[in-house]
Amino acid sequence: MTDNTMKQTPLNAVHKALGARMVPFGGWEMPVQYAGVIEEHLAVRERAGLFDVSHMGEVEASGPEALALVQKLTTNDASKLVDGQIQYSALCYPDGGVVDDVTLYRSSATHFLFCVNASNTDKDFAWMQQVHGESGIKGAALTNRSAEFAQLALQGPKAAEILARLTAVPLASLRYYHFSQGEVAGVPTLISRTGYTGEDGFELYIPAAAAVGMWTRLLEAGQADGLLPIGLGARDTLRLEKGYALYGHELSSTISPLEAGLGWIVKLEKGDFVGRDALLKQKAAGIPRRLVGLAMVERGIPREGYPVYAGEKQVGTVTSGTMSPSLKNGIALALVESSSAVLDKELLIGIRDRRLRAKIVKPPFVKR
Amino acid sequence: MEFPEEFKYTEEHEWVQVEGDLVIVGITDFAQDALGDVVFVELPEVGAEVTAGKAFGVVESVKAVSDVYAPVSGTVEEINEELPDAPEVINTSPYGDGWMIKIRVSDPAELEGLMDAAEYQAHVAEEH
C-alpha cells in the first residue's frame, strides 16, 4: 500500500497515530480517511474539519517585473489584485490545454505566491521557468518554496470561531479570497480565507517545522465543537458537491479552461499570455465540449471514465463522480459535446451493463 | 476484526453460512472495513444462476466499486431486499443483517474448497 519512495508531509506520523488509512496520492503518502468518509464529510458541512494539505506546492514570483511575469503565465488578470488579495487562475500551454489551476496571492506589487497542485509542483515550476526564460522578462525571479511550507485547511461553519481562539488577527474583517499575516498559536502564519469545500474556512501556511504543533493546537481548540481530522476521501466528495474542478479530472493538458467552465478566469482582453491565441480561436470557433453537472435520476453511482449518452450516441465521459453524502444521491461532473450540454436535459450514464438516467444540473449540487 | 467460527470463507472475502443445500452469502468484516462506507449494493434477481468464482453482485463505497463473487454455483433462492435502501448495514452488521443472497447449491462438493475461519484469518493476515 505504501512505500518509502513516496514523499511525506511533516504530519505523516501524526496521521498514522490517529489511525488514518494512508494511500499514495500524486507521489505523496496521504491520509484518505480517519473515522470514515461520510462522517468526515458531514462534520465539515455541519461543524468543522482539519485537513493536512502540506503536499500542495508554493512558488514565489518576486521582483519589480513580477506582475508582468505573472500576467504572462496566467489566464486571469492579476493586475486587478491588491495587496492581501487572492485570485483563482490557471496556467495554460500555447494550445490552450491546462498546465495547472492555481491560487495566486499578492503580498505586494513585487511579491506574488502561487499555490499549485501537489502532483504538478515540479512540472509547474519547470514550465514557469521555461516561460520566464522565453519571455525576456529580466526583473523577476521564480522560487520553488514548497518544502518550506506546511499547509493546513480549517473548514466548516465553525472554522472562524475555532481559529479565533488561537489568534489575535481579526478574522471578521478578513474577506473571502483575502489573506492576512499574523500569529496563530504563536506561529507566524499566512491566514488565507479560502478552501476547497464550499464552506467558510481558512488555509494556513506555516513553517514546515511548526506543522505538528499547529495541528495539535487546532484539534484541541475545536474539540468541543466537534472538529475532526479530514482525509482526501472527504476532500474529494466535498469539492465535488460544490462542482469544483480537480486537475487530472476536469482539467488537463487536453481540456481547455473554457471547456471546463472556467471562462470567468480567462481574461482574453488583459493582454498577452500563454495560451491566449488558442483560447481566442476556440471561443470564436465555438467551444466543442462543456463540463456539466449530472444528478442521477435512477439509482446508481457515476464514476470517472463512465460513458455518457444522448439516446444511443455517446456524447461524453464522466470526469468525476461519487455518491453525494449530503444528498444521498449519485452526482457527477462530465465533459460532453456542447450540443448536449443543455440545462435540465436528461442523459444516460453507462454504469456497468446498464444505462441509467441522469439530469444536467448547474453546480453546486449542494447549495450553502 | 471478527471471524465467526461457524462460517466458511473465500479468498475474495465472502463469508458462507451453510444450511443443508442452501447457503447464505455476504462480505466479511475485513472486506467491509477495507471498503469503507458502503453506499450502494447491486444484487442479482431471485432465480438467477450464479457460478462459483464469478461476480454475482456489486458493492460500492464512496470511493470504490467492488465485485462480489459467488462462493459456489447454484440458483439464487432469496436476496436481502433491505440492502439497496440501507447499504450501510453491510458496515454495521456484515455477518448478520448485511447478508446479501441465499443460493440453492447445485454441487455441494464445491463447499469443500472453501476456507474455515482459521484459514481465512491467516489469509487476511498474509494479504494485509
ipTM: 0.91
Q: How far apart are alpha carbons A109 and B31 in whole angstroms?
A: 55
Considering only alpha carbons, which residue of chain B is nearest residue A324?
Answer: B62
Categorize the per-residue pLDDT at A4 as very low, low, confident or very high, splitting at 50, 70 and 90. low
- Position A1 pLDDT exceeds 60: no
Residue A89 cell numbers, joined: 487562475
Residues of B with a Cβ under 8 Å from any A Cβ are 36-37, 39-40, 42, 58, 60-63, 65, 84
Which of B58, B61, B62 should we substitute to test contact with A (largest number of A Cβ atoms within 10 Å)? B62
Terminal-residue alpha carbon distance, chain A: 36
Q: What percent of chain A has pLDDT over 90?
A: 98
Q: pLDDT tens digit string along A249-305? A: 999 999 999 999 999 999 999 999 999 999 999 999 999 999 999 999 999 999 999
For residue A22, which residues of chain B lie inside 8 Å, CB to CB? none
Single-letter code of the amino acid located at A34: Y
Residue A130 cell numbers, joined: 521555461
Query: Averaged over A197-214, what is the pLDDT?
Result: 98
Task: Mark yes or no for CB contact A301/B36 under 8 Å.
Answer: no
Q: How far apart are alpha carbons B28 and B15 in whole angstroms?
A: 6
> pLDDT at position B63, please?
87
Task: Give the CATH number of domain B12-111.
Answer: 2.40.50.100
Return the residue matching grid coordinates 442479482.
B44
Q: How far apart are alpha carbons A282 and A280 in whole angstroms?
A: 5
Q: pLDDT tens digit string along A49-96? A: 999 999 999 999 999 999 999 999 999 999 999 999 999 999 999 999
- Domains of chain A as residue ranges with CATH: 12-54+148-241 (3.30.1360.120), 288-361 (2.40.30.110)
3-state secondary structure of A70: helix
- Position A2 pLDDT exceeds 70: no
Domain ranges in chain B are 12-111
Q: What is the mean pLDDT of each run of 10 residues along chain B (128 residues)?
A: 95 96 97 96 97 97 95 98 96 98 96 96 89
